[in-house]
Amino acid sequence: MDSHGTSYGECEERDSKVDCCRLSSHMGGDRLSDYEDYLKLKSRVEILQHSQRHLLGEEIAGMGVDELEQLQHQVDTSLRQIRSTKLEERDGAHNQSILGASSSVERSQQSNIINNSNNRARVLIK
């Protein structure tokens, strides 16, 4: 927020609209549309870079309480997602390990059944 209570994104959007209005009389429709898209993307990149600096702990001295609480909420949400993803990965690996051990036991049991059948057949033949 600046000293007038306007957010960074609002300033960028306002400036982009002013630039578009100035250029609209000098450019064709397609070029103007491309330029508008460029300005929107440029503004979005700048907003994301600004947010990234905040998330990295840079430039937070000038933030208000509301912005700091919002940043804290974003960090908490990101941490929950990371923890959830890690738990899912760990549980998935653990489940694969159990499935692998289970199929190994099943193969061993089948092998034992076949061996027992063969041994019975030998005993009956003698």
In a shared domain, residues 54 and 12:
yes
Number of domains in the chain: 2
Residue 64 makes CB contacts below 8 A (sequence gap 6+) with 1
- pLDDT reported for residue 3: 46
| CA 64 – CA 62 distance, rounded (Å) | 7
In a shared domain, residues 41 and 5:
yes
Token pair, residue 82, equals: 């990371």
In a shared domain, residues 119 and 94:
yes
In a shared domain, residues 106 and 93:
yes
- pLDDT reported for residue 42: 96
The 10s digit of each residue's pLDDT in 71-110 is: 889 889 989 999 998 888 888 777 777 777 777 778 788 8
- pLDDT reported for residue 80: 92
In a shared domain, residues 46 and 73:
no
For residue 10, give its domain range: 1-63
Output the CA–CA distances (angstroms, integers) from residue 15 to 34, 87, 114, in the order listed. 17, 45, 81
In a shared domain, residues 33 and 90:
no
In a shared domain, residues 80 and 105:
yes
Q: Are 40 and 16 in contact (CB under 8 A)?
A: yes
The 10s digit of each residue's pLDDT in 6-62 is: 555 565 555 555 555 555 555 566 888 899 999 999 999 999 998 888 777 777 777
In a shared domain, residues 36 and 83:
no
- pLDDT reported for residue 112: 76
In this prediction the pTM is 0.38
Q: Which of 63, 84, 107 is the last residue of a domain?
A: 63
Provide DSSP, 45-78. HHHHHHHHHHHTTTT-TT--HHHHHHHHHHHHHH
In a shared domain, residues 13 and 52:
yes
Count of beta carbons in the 10 Å neighbourhood of residue 109: 10
In a shared domain, residues 3 and 59:
yes
